Amino acid sequence: MNTKEQMTRALFDNTVKNKVSQMFQPGFSYNGHNDRMPINLYDISFRLFRPTPTYINLEFMTSTSIGRYFQPVGFFDADLNIYILNEFADIFKRLRSSKEITEKANFLDIKTNALIGAFSWQTIEFVVEIFNELRTTGWKPKDYIRMSLSDRFNKRFEANGYISALVLDQEGSPEFCLDDKYEFSGAIGKYIVDMEGNLDMFPTTEHKNLFAKLERLQLLTAFTRI
């Protein structure tokens, strides 16, 4: 069983569900905190984190080139229903098909999963890479005269289980889009560097309300840096 399979199975482990149930009880506290609890399974250090009174995330900490982040696998509501992120959905389906998991899970819609991908640490790594190259080599260094801007700066990668792309807009700022095969048109997020050199990111207008909800639920790992 590989690491992602272990992470997926942890979401359905009875120990995890029992701890989640404890955390929903009035007056819960663990080491002085009422919103988090560590838990170890499969030699992986997870934490249960309650970002709102009615949801609890199962997360693990990951170290990246741009910092350390808490990465969610899925979350529970107050009725202990399980919701799984798209990155782990296919693994869940395979494990359930082989009867290694017998319980049901809820899947998030494509818009929700796309926003989670757009504002994930995986995406931000590529955004930082683009801006670093722009800052150090500029738009038209000698070695790239015959290479189009799209070849130089546009990136294709996987985010939250979707084939995704960062594409420069007319102002030279990266925008996050899903691959055409998903038939989900339009940019989802945009990234800019302000006058002080700080990275700023925001959703496109039509996704602002959902973005705010997912940020409250701490499912956007771009904002969970430790």
Give the pLDDT confidence score for residue 142 in this predicted structure: 46
Give the pLDDT confidence score for residue 128 in this predicted structure: 94
The answer to whether residue 131 sits within a structural domain is: yes
8 and 96 inside one domain: yes
Give the pLDDT confidence score for residue 150 in this predicted structure: 56
17 and 88 inside one domain: yes
Give the pLDDT confidence score for residue 145 in this predicted structure: 46
Give the pLDDT confidence score for residue 151 in this predicted structure: 63
Q: What is the mean pLDDT of each run of 10 residues along the chain (226 residues)?
A: 95 97 96 96 96 97 89 97 98 97 97 98 94 77 50 87 94 93 94 91 96 97 89
The answer to whether residue 177 sits within a structural domain is: yes
pLDDT tens, position by position, 51-73: 999 999 999 999 888 889 999 99
d(CA 186, CA 136): 30
157: Cβ contacts below 8 Å, ≥ 6 apart:
122, 123, 126, 163, 164, 165, 166
The answer to whether residue 123 sits within a structural domain is: yes
Give the pLDDT confidence score for residue 209 in this predicted structure: 97
Give the pLDDT confidence score for residue 139 in this predicted structure: 58
The answer to whether residue 209 sits within a structural domain is: yes
50 and 146 inside one domain: no
| pTM of the shown model | 0.92
101 and 122 inside one domain: no
- Contacts from 147-156 at CB under 8 Å and sequence distance 24+? 155/126, 155/129, 155/130
What phi and psi, each to the nearest 5 degrees, are found at residue 84? -120, 140
Give the end of a domain, one of 108, 142, 159. 108
Give the end of a domain, one of 89, 108, 127. 108
Give the pLDDT confidence score for residue 11 in this predicted structure: 97
150 and 192 inside one domain: yes
**How many domains does the chain fold into?**
2
The answer to whether residue 222 sits within a structural domain is: no
Give the pLDDT confidence score for residue 146 in this predicted structure: 47
Give the pLDDT confidence score for residue 192 in this predicted structure: 95
Sole residue written with tokens 């996704």:
207
By residue range, what is the domain housing residue 205?
Answer: 115-217
The answer to whether residue 89 sits within a structural domain is: yes
Give the pLDDT confidence score for residue 143 in this predicted structure: 53
Q: Identify whether the C-beta of residue 189 lies closer than 8 Å to the C-beta of residue 119.
A: yes
147 and 85 inside one domain: no
The answer to whether residue 223 sits within a structural domain is: no
